[in-house]
Amino acid sequence: MTTRPELQGDDPILLFQDWMHLAEASEPNDPNAAALATASPDGLPSVRMVLVKNIEQQGFSFFTNAESQKGCQLQANPRGALCLHWKTLRRQVRVGGPVSNLPPEATDQYFHSRSRRSQIGAAVSQQTRPLPSRTQLEQEVTLFEEAHPEGEIPRPAFWQGYLLQPHTVEFWIDGPDRLHDRLLFTKTGDTWTRTLLYP
């Protein structure tokens, strides 16, 4: 097995958390930004950036409009993959597994931790649908603000939290001459298996 200290340990979640702490200190913007891949029921893939908001043994949490393309795809085909790439560290992590809805309480808690303007934006946006003009969006924001001048912004029912439960986690470190280090964790039941991969 590898002797590289950055890839030691038998728990990929703890290892990921260590890498995230390093990224938080080195990345200038959004170290928790990840490419999220989903697919339609007939297998057509789609990918976009999301912010991973929590990493625990249960999985990786993110939030979005459930009526967006990714939300609809996850409803029909509840599996996904994440890829986080930290350019300054020359490292990346890939995660794959089933995706489930977070409990409403967890979604409420995160929604109300966002800035008031971000909450309003989430409530107004009909994500992915055609927008006639930027002016219309700004008018809808203004009308929503006038209807909710103070107090808590109600979380819209379509705004949802998701949990990707990792079945695979792969760690990658850039190496000289493209001889990169790759370590794959695969989960069977409650047990993780470590496998070194060719670059």
**Distance separating alpha carbons of residues 192 and 2, to the nearest angstrom:** 16
Digit-by-digit pLDDT tens for the chain (199 residues) are 456 889 999 999 999 999 999 999 999 899 999 999 999 999 999 999 999 999 999 999 999 999 999 999 999 999 999 999 999 999 999 999 999 999 999 999 999 999 999 999 999 988 888 999 999 999 999 999 999 988 889 999 999 999 999 999 999 999 999 999 999 999 999 999 999 999 9
The domains of the chain, with CATH numbers, are 5-112+161-197 (2.30.110.10), 115-154 (no CATH)
For the entire predicted model, the pTM comes to: 0.91
